[in-house]
Chain A
Amino acid sequence: MLALWRKIRATGRVAEPAPPLPPAGEVPDRVRELRGSVQVRHVDAGSCNGCEVEIGAAFGPVYDADRYGARLVASPRHADALIVTGVVTRNMAQPLRRTYEAVSDPKLVVAVGDCAVDCGLFRGAPGVAGAVSDVVPVDLRIPGCPPRPAAIVEGLRKLTGR
């Protein structure tokens, strides 16, 4: 108890200073309706879990995506955006479609990582249904294998606009 308190006192703030707000770029205008609050549901469509690690880091204390109004949620009903990682395998194509169905409008899809953007190095591999854009409409692409947490945070900030 006391030890933890001392640790908290000693550590202080670990979050990095916020970089400048990136230009909106490719994101559609639907984003305006969200007005600085984006609930995110993460879908692993067949990833190697590299991107998951980076997403975890992006929502960790250092990069702190929370501070820009993005939050991970448990149910697609509560979500505004889907973060999809990995190539879409055959088994995950239908679940991905259903998850997209479950989200209420306005909804956005973010493809995180090369595999999600364009199948990356799994292109043509057996059991791959295609990239995310082949299954559900994609609004924002965050390339990289895996993308740096900073890049993910930057992408999310384009959605929240903060």
Chain B
Amino acid sequence: MTALHAGLGVALGAGSLTALAGLLVPRRARTTVVGAGLAITGAAALLAGIAAMTGRSASFAVPDLLPLFGLLFTVDPLAGVFLAITGGVTVAVGIYGIGYCRGPGDGQGHDHGGLDARGVQAVLPLFVLAMLAVPVAASVGTLLLCWELMALTSLLLVIAEHRRRPTVASAGRWYAVMTQLGLVAILIGLSVFAGHAVDGSFAALRAAAPTLTPAVAALVFVATGIGFGSKAGIVPLHAWLPRAHPEAPSNVSALMSAAMVNLGVYGIVRVGFDLLGDTGAAWWWLLVLGLGALSAIYGILQAAIGTNFKRLLGNSTTENMGLILIGVGAAGFFGTAGDLDLAALALAAALLHLVNHAAFKTLLFTSAGSVVQATGRRDLDELGGLNTGMPATTAAFGVGALAASALPPGAAFVSEWLLLQALIHGLPATGVAGAIVLPLAVAAVALTAGLAVATFVKAFGIGFLAKPRTPEAASATEGPASMLVGMGVAGVACVALALAPTLVLPTIGSVAGATVGAGDPVRIHGLTIELVGTLGATVGSLSPLMLTLALLIGTVLALAGARALATRRAARAARLWDCGGGPLSARMEYTATSFAEPLQRVFDDVLRAEHDVDVSHYDESRYLVQTVEYRRRVPDRIEKRLYDPVLRLVAAWGQAGRKLATGSVHRYLGYGFYTLCGLLVLLVVTR
């Protein structure tokens, strides 16, 4: 009875009990019980995951649960990473949900009801359980089953608020279609794979991998890649993500954005590195890397010019998944080039960024949820000045924004540093392809980092600082304590990851090393992260804690110096400098739209924003302007080019199909009959 077994058992038990509780407990206590249950489930899963990462592994089989196949679960270090992430996120989100689900949710009006309904509260634990089950699934059937369960439960949660906002319904439709298509792709890929193996268990697949022809292997990789990539929100399969995330309740958005999308990455890593082993060709991984770079830049561009608070965070999820896939692709690429140490380093960077992203995205989405719940506004142009009414939430979002913008002392800085180190040291190892791809990859990462800075300066500065732009923003107050506690948990995780990545990095490094079949890529030396190059030489080192301490000392020095030199005059409050005119009103502030305007003009060739300016004049003279109204829309060009034609085609098919449906029962029965005969004939002919 190891910690691993205990953790898994508790997680399963608590999760199922919580689901029941969601159904049975009366409304007053429901969210509390469910939230506590989720927290316990998450904590147990976190422990189990950590135990698994440190090398313990276990297998469970439920032989013939279903007619066709039994369920098969195996917990190995790689699965442990994702167990731990999902568990950690669940703890924070569970506690947060206690208060959040009582509130009006993200509804525009402050009307009550919805999120603490029986359905939502019962499905939430199931969703978590499904997400915990996916990484430990050890056979094709099990994986597909858990995957589908996860997809369905998340879909139900996304449309939880469809009564309040019609937009939710369309978002749900997008999400349903794309996630099901993704499932089909995975199904195809894995069943082709399983067709070449003795049975559907991953062990059999591993054994069969070397026997695959390159074409088949490529088919498997690409098909599953499409499925998993769509779940990770990778361009061009991202269309659902910026729709579903903003429309889902914020605790669900946090779960999806911080835990669920990771499983897409999990799938790619599992299939590419583990199941297909070293049959991988370089172009697979260059494809992954390229799509990752594309998603990173595209996502952060949309985020940088967007003004919808939660949509912006969703786009930033696309960006971070892109960065992670850059790491994964680089790892595979180095692996095919034969430099396993570098591959381990790149994969470790990707996994670390996965952990960091989970932490700060949970924090960002929960605090954004509090803001939206308190103000009922989700447009940055209508927020501002929240630091007076909601100081704790402001601080929380500030920490998250610092972590997300890859600046020291933030969490993402460490992982992006590792990623850049891996890319830079890859140059000598990978020949001409590397010499052409890696600089561009570095440039992509760098551009992403720069735009991320702009994005979160906008989100934090415009959203929380300065003067409130609407009465709702002015009168906003903090939510219940449980929400603050939930944010606090995520915040503490962010700070810990930022200051002491040395605690988690060795484990993650060894997991990555084991996945690609190399040694530990990083060595911890005191407070310092040291990169282990080939021949075990140190090729680079970073110490986030030292850096932060140095910053603190610097601040103290500056303060002391200023105090020492400045003559003691009492500070005086003064009205803002308004050029001597009347007082400045909130309408004179920069809005998110105007803040992003230069970037939008710089990247206009890419974004093709649509503006319309309508100026209305006074009747007396057309030289006297009465009002000027400026609106900007940034259509998703990839959607325009890629999805609209497909949708039109599907619609056309549908129209054609309606001709067959005349409503006569005989005809419908006839269809069945004809098909049956046709099949029989086919059988005869082919045999």
Which A residues form the contact surface with B (CB < 8 A)? 75-77, 94-96, 98-99, 101-102, 104-105
- State the 10 A-B residue pairs at the shortest beta-carbon distance, nearest first: A95-B580, A98-B580, A102-B577, A99-B580, A77-B577, A75-B577, A102-B574, A101-B574, A76-B577, A95-B581
CB contacts (< 8 Å) of B572 on chain A: these are: 104-105
Q: Which of A96, A98, A101, A105 has the most CB of B within 10 A?
A: A98
Docked complex Cα distance between A102 and B579 (Å): 9
Partner of A94, one of B574, B575, B577, B580: B580
B569 lies within 8 A of chain A by Cβ: yes
Neighbouring B residues of A105 by C-beta, 8 Å:
569, 572
Q: Which residue of A lies closest to B581 (CB)?
A: A95
Contact with A along B568-586 (1 / 0, CB 8 A): 0100101101111100000
Which residues on A sit within 8 Å (CB–CB) of B569?
105
* Distance A94 CA – B575 CA, assembled complex (angstroms): 14
Least distance between B574 CB and chain A CB atoms (Å): 6
Complex CA–CA separation, A77 to B577 (angstroms): 8
Known: A76-B577, A95-B579, A101-B574. 12 other contacts (CB 8 A): A75-B577, A77-B577, A94-B580, A95-B581, A96-B580, A98-B575, A101-B575, A102-B574, A102-B577, A104-B572, A105-B569, A105-B572
Can you report 10 residue pairs joining A to B where beta carbons are below 8 Å apart? A75-B577, A76-B577, A77-B577, A94-B580, A95-B579, A96-B580, A99-B580, A101-B575, A104-B572, A104-B574
A95 to chain B: closest residue by CB: B580
Q: Which residues on B are within 8 Å of A, measured CB to CB?
A: 569, 572, 574-575, 577-581
Whole-angstrom distance between the alpha carbons of A107 and B432 in the complex?
66
Residues of B within 8 A of A96 (CB): 580
**In the complex, chain B residues whose CB is within 8 Å of the CB of A94:** 580
List of A residues within 8 angstroms of B577 by Cβ: 75-77, 102
B579 cross-chain contacts in A, Cβ below 8 A: 95
Q: In the bound complex, what is the Cα–Cα distance between A96 and B581 (angstroms)?
A: 10
CB distance from B571 to the nearest CB of A (A): 9
Smallest CB separation, B588 vs chain A (Å): 16
Q: How far is the CB of A88 from chain B (nearest CB, A)?
A: 12
Taken together as a complex, chains A and B put the C-alpha atoms of A96 and B575 apart, in Å, by 14
CB distance from A71 to the nearest CB of B (A): 18
Least Cβ distance of A95 to chain B in Å? 3
**Separation of A76 and B578 alpha carbons in the complex (Å):** 11
User: How far, in Å, is B565 (CB) from chain A's closest CB?
Assistant: 13
How many Å lie between the Cα of A77 and that of B580 in the bound state?
Answer: 12
Q: How far is the CB of A98 from chain B (nearest CB, A)?
A: 5
From residue A81, how far is it (CB to closest CB) to chain B in Å? 16
Q: How far is the CA of A61 from the CA of B174 in the complex (A)?
A: 68
Chain B residue nearest in CB terms to A33:
B567
- A106 closest partner in B (C-beta): B569
Q: Give complex CA distance A81, B569 in Å.
A: 18
Give the shortest distance, in Å, between A100 (CB) and chain B (any CB): 10
Cβ–Cβ < 8 Å partners of A95 in chain B: 579-581
Q: How far is the CB of B177 from chain A (nearest CB, A)?
A: 56
Complex: how many Å from CA A94 to CA B580? 7
Nearest Cβ distance between residue A46 and chain B, in whole angstroms? 13
- Chain B, Cβ-Cβ closest to A43: B580
Provide the residues of chain A in CB contact with B578, threshold 8 Å. Answer: 98
Q: How far is the CA of A99 from the CA of B580 in the complex (A)?
A: 6
Interface centre among B572, B575, B578, B580 (most CB of A within 10 A): B580
B607 CB to nearest chain A CB (Å):
33
Chain B's nearest CB lies how many Å from the CB of A41?
10
CB distance from A89 to the nearest CB of B (A): 13
A34 to chain B, nearest CB (A): 13
Tell me the minimal C-beta distance from A62 to chain B in angstroms: 31
Which chain B residues lie closer than 8 Å to A99 at the CB level? 580
- By a CB distance below 8 angstroms, the chain A residues around B580 are 94-96, 98-99
- Chain B residue with Cβ nearest A102: B577
Least CB separation from A77: chain B residue: B577
**Closest Cβ–Cβ distance, residue B85 to chain A (whole Å):** 48
Alpha-carbon gap, A101 to B573, bound state (A): 10
| A75: chain B residues within 8 A (beta carbon) | 577
* Nearest residue, chain A, Cβ from B580: A95
Q: Bound complex: CA of A155 vs CA of B493, how far in Å? A: 62
In the assembled complex, how far is the CB of residue B438 from the closest CB belonging to chain A, in whole angstroms?
A: 39
- Using Cβ atoms and an 8 Å threshold, which residues of chain A touch B575? 98, 101-102
A101 to B575, CA, bound (A): 9
Measured CB to CB, the nearest residue on chain B to A94 is B580
Bound together, the chains give a CA A27 to CA B82 distance in angstroms of 74
Chain B residues in 8 Å Cβ range of A76: 577
A129 to chain B, nearest CB (A): 14
Closest to A100 in B: B580
B578: shortest Cβ distance to chain A, in Å? Answer: 7
Complex Cα spacing A99 to B569, Å: 20
- Measured in the bound complex, the distance between the Cα atoms of B82 and A125 in whole Å is 82
A101 to B577, CA, bound (A): 9
- Report the Cα distance A101→B569, complex, angstroms: 16
Tell me the bound Cα distance from A134 to B577 in angstroms: 23
A47 → chain B closest CB, angstroms: 15
Within the complex, what minimum Cβ distance (angstroms) separates B393 from chain A? 31
| A76 to B576 Cα, complex, angstroms | 11
CA distance A10 to B193 in the complex (A): 82
CA distance A95 to B579 in the complex (A): 7
In the bound complex, CA of A99 to CA of B572 (Å): 15
